[in-house]
Structure 1
């Protein structure tokens, strides 16, 4: 029963909804970045490298052995480093893209939190606290004059 109560509190507080929204946006963002990497960045990179397909690159440690009829007796043993290089390039591009997006969002956040910036209206609770602070200052000034 305690776990059900904790789950209700978790769901009601909005944490579950926040997580769901984050996962949905993350999934959509993953698709955007995937298209960015595969359709926009990789084609020029392939052109620069003369169409080298990294995923096919491997270092063969032991060749496969065929019998007289062409049936594989011993499988090839190889280290597939090309796919690792491709995934590493994808990771770097995705990491850089996420960095740019976070940097962009942080600039908006700093601008919104900057009290001297009058182009962005302050949040209602911040405005109320500022008014409360002004009233307390006026009250202190009046008390000092007496």
Structure 2
């Protein structure tokens, strides 16, 4: 049992596991931020262009009681209390949130890729400081005229 606990501690407290935990926490906070942006900024703007439609209250009634609530103009909470509904407005909101989140992740990955490419380009452009000995194939100083490993004369 002690060995099992020891293995679990090694697994749970490895650097990669902690990095994953931090990533999950930041991801959850980022998701909450995107949800807030969509609910509080984008949906009201979209509502202005769609004639004041509140997407969160769009639904299709599936039972007689919810149909009656729908006809009377009830909001989704009242309709759900009355019976089964299909809340497609919530799906539209979730879809918009997903698209915004995917776009932000795309922009982040794009920026990181460009940054990595520029760093790689700088590394490739750096002048070489070593060369390979044609006889023993070890790396030696670029200015060497004799290999320090195999003592061969170099051109």
TM range (shorter): 0.5 to 0.7
Moved more, 84-93 or 34-43: 34-43
TM-score scaled by structure 1? 0.65
Match of 1:136 in 2: 139
Equivalent-residue separation in structure 1 for 2:64 and 2:49 (angstroms) = 31
CA gap of 1:113–1:40, structure 2 versus 1, over 3 A, is farther
RMSD, matched Cα:
3.3
User: Which structure 2 residues correspond to residues 1-146 of structure 1 after superposition, within 5 A?
Assistant: 1-11=2-12, 13-64=14-65, 75-114=82-121, 115-116=123-124, 136-138=139-141, 142=146, 143-145=152-154
Equivalent-residue separation in structure 2 for 1:64 and 1:81 (angstroms) = 18
For the pair shown, the structure with the greater C-alpha radius of gyration is: 2
* 1:52 CA drift (Å): 0.7
TM-score scaled by structure 2? 0.62
The alignment of Structure 1 onto Structure 2 pairs a total of residues equal to 127
Gaps of 5+ in 1: 67-74, 119-129
The structure whose residues are more often helix, as a share, is: 1
Gaps of 5+ in 2: 69-81, 133-137, 147-151
